[in-house]
Amino acid sequence: MADNFDAFPTVTDDDGSLTTGTPFSNAYNALLKATIADQVYSVVNPAVKPRHTTEEVVNARGSLGNLETRLDVATNPDGTLKAIAGQATVADLVSQQGARNLIRNGDMEMWTDGDVTAPDYWESSGAGVQVARAGPGRVDTQNVGAGHSSANIISGGALGLLVQKVWISSDVGYRSAALGRRVVLSGILNTSVAAAARIVVQDGVSNVASAYHTGGGTDELLSAALVLSGSATLLQVYVGVNAAGVSAHVGGLQLVFSDEEQTAWIPEPSRWSMWHNCIIARYEGTEGNSSTGETDLWALLNSVPPWAISRDGQGFRITATFSLAQNVNVKTGKLYLGSNSVTFLSSNSSVANNIATLHATVVRASGTTAVVIGTITFDAATGAVPTVQHFAGSISGINWAAALVLKITGQSDTATDDLRLIRLICEWMP
């Protein structure tokens, strides 16, 4: 408002007679008011006074002596942000776009070959090594906080391994764009023996191992990072237990492309979980009935979570093959959902090498019932026409809000192994 200040009249003092000096006129007062108003009054924010601005500036400087000192912590003189130690850059964020877990069944939820073999997509290695499923509802209830199940590894000799081949040689051949990039392996382990269990990632040229579990008997997140060699021939991970008789539990295994270490387990909707596939179980063996009592031939123990069958129309489809002994003993097969069942087989056939194939569909019909329909086909002696029987029934008293047992039982009125389960596939119908 320089013009207003320049327009101020020359001021002279009174000589004491009260009749001289510059008079304080209305024009001078108006000019003074306009000049001050121009400097302190805001038409846009008329309620904001200069003292409000002062208070805000003092508050904004926090514990520092002035506002400039505080702003200098985070900004450059031109107003751009200063780099902060540990702050993600644009390049960091771009490198994480589309990152996903390369490990299949890292949550150890799929065990379609049985609970005392290696989990799906994994292989065990090492003399006498034992691998079994653990978790709530099982003999070994230990999990590691990364899902319902964990894998329990017990080394029989100097080294017991649980191995997954993420990429074999041919995979690496057409993924050359990944070479030179960094992968980070992480997983949660629990053991009571120090310096005995760890995880390893390898590319056929180099191996990188995590630190050992401390042996404190608590869940610990371990990690190892490897830059894939330009000469890589595979991408493989394993959990290693390097002392005879040592038991370790593992789960929550993840392998991602990343430039940063993983400091915590990241929950994910596992695309490899058994409940994201249609086939949720398979069996191959010769499990038979024992004596004259009802015997579990196969069971999907504690594995029907409430959300899997949460509405009418969802269910399971089971295909199974049985062998029946050549005698006239009464052989009975039942399908259970929860504590109730339907009978799908009642036979005293004496045909040599009789094979029976079951096709059964179990569908939720209401809040407490399921409908079961199916056929069982008997392959008779060579050249004879197979016999087909149909069955249908319902299972009531089901609490769909609770975890349910799905199983098949066999029984004979006379002898062991009159009815044996040979193969089975169970499919989920979401």
* Whether the predicted pLDDT of 303 surpasses 70: no
**What separation, in Å, do the N-terminal and C-terminal C-alpha atoms of the chain show?**
77
pLDDT of res. 259: 83
Predicted confidence (pLDDT) at residue 235 exceeds the cutoff of 80: yes
Identify the CA nearest to 372 among candidates 360, 388, 382. Answer: 360
pLDDT at 133 over 90: yes
CA distances from 82 to 61, 75, 93 (A): 18, 5, 18
Q: Which CATH number fits domain 123-257: 3.40.50.2020, 2.60.120.260, 2.60.40.1230, 3.40.50.620?
A: 2.60.120.260
Domain positions in the chain are 2-74, 123-257, 278-429
The mean per-residue pLDDT over the stretch 123-134 comes to 94
61 phi-psi bin (left φ>0, alpha ψ -120 to 50, beta other): alpha
CA 343 to mean position of chain CA atoms = 38
Q: Is 152 exposed, middle or buried (0-12, 13-18, 19+ CB in 10 A)?
A: buried
- Taking all residues of the chain, what is their mean pLDDT, rounded to a whole number? 86
**pLDDT, tens only, 309-325:** 888 888 999 999 999 88
The more confident residue out of 17 and 372 is 372
Mean pLDDT within 273-295? 79
Helical spans, DSSP H, in 105-220: 169-173
Task: Look at 315 and 136; give whichever has higher pLDDT.
Answer: 315
Q: Average pLDDT in the 339-355 region? A: 81
- Residue 139 has what pLDDT? 86
54 vs 385, higher pLDDT: 54
Q: Indicate the burial class of 86 (C-beta count within 10 angstroms; 0-12, 13-18, 19 or more).
A: exposed
Tens digit of pLDDT for each residue in 174-194? 899 999 999 999 999 999 999
Residue 154, pLDDT > 70, answer: yes
Does 327 score more than 70 pLDDT?
yes
In the chain, the percentage of residues whose pLDDT exceeds 70 is 89
Q: Which residue has the higher pLDDT, 393 or 114?
A: 393
CATH class for the domain made up of 278-429: mainly beta
Answer yes or no: is pLDDT of 5 > 90.
Answer: no
DSSP of 27-78 = HHHHHHHHHHHHHH--SSSTT--HHHHHHHHHHHTTTSSSHHHHHHHHB-TT
- 93 confidence band (pLDDT: 50, 70, 90): low
Output the furthest CA–CA distance in the chain (Å, rounded): 145
Same fold across 123-257 and 278-429: yes
- Mean pLDDT is lowest, of 61-70, 111-120, 156-165, 388-397, for 111-120
How many other CB atoms are found less than 10 A from the CB of residue 35?
A: 16
In contact, 416 and 403? CB cutoff 8 Å: no
Strand partners, 425: 282, 319
Q: Average pLDDT in the 339-350 region?
A: 85
Instruction: Give 271's pLDDT tier (boundaries 50, 70, 90).
Output: very low
CA neighbours closer than 13 Å in the CB half-sphere of residue 288? 15
Question: Among the listed ranges 113-122, 139-148, 343-352, which one has the minimum average pLDDT value?
Answer: 343-352
The pLDDT confidence band at residue 19, using thresholds 50, 70 and 90, is confident
Helix or strand (DSSP H, E) at 92? helix 90-96
Measure the CA–CA gap between 143 and 165, rounded to whole angstroms: 24
Per the listing, tokens 């002696």 go with 381
pTM above 0.75, yes or no: no
Average pLDDT value for residue range 378-392: 74
Outline where DSSP puts E strands in 168-278: 182-191, 197-202, 207-209, 220-227, 235-241, 247-257
The larger pLDDT score, comparing residue 374 to residue 300, is at 374
Is pLDDT at 406 greater than 50 in this prediction? yes
Whether the per-residue pLDDT at 276 is higher than 70: the answer is no
- Residue 308's nearest CA partner among 330, 351, 275 is 275
pLDDT band at 272 (very low <50, low <70, confident <90, very high): very low
Q: Which amino acid is present at 70? A: R
CB atoms inside a 10 Å sphere around CB 429: 15
CA distances from 8 to 19, 23, 34, 38, 358 (A): 21, 12, 11, 15, 108
Task: Work out the average pLDDT over 373-391.
Answer: 78
Q: What is the pLDDT of residue 1?
A: 45
pLDDT at 351: 63
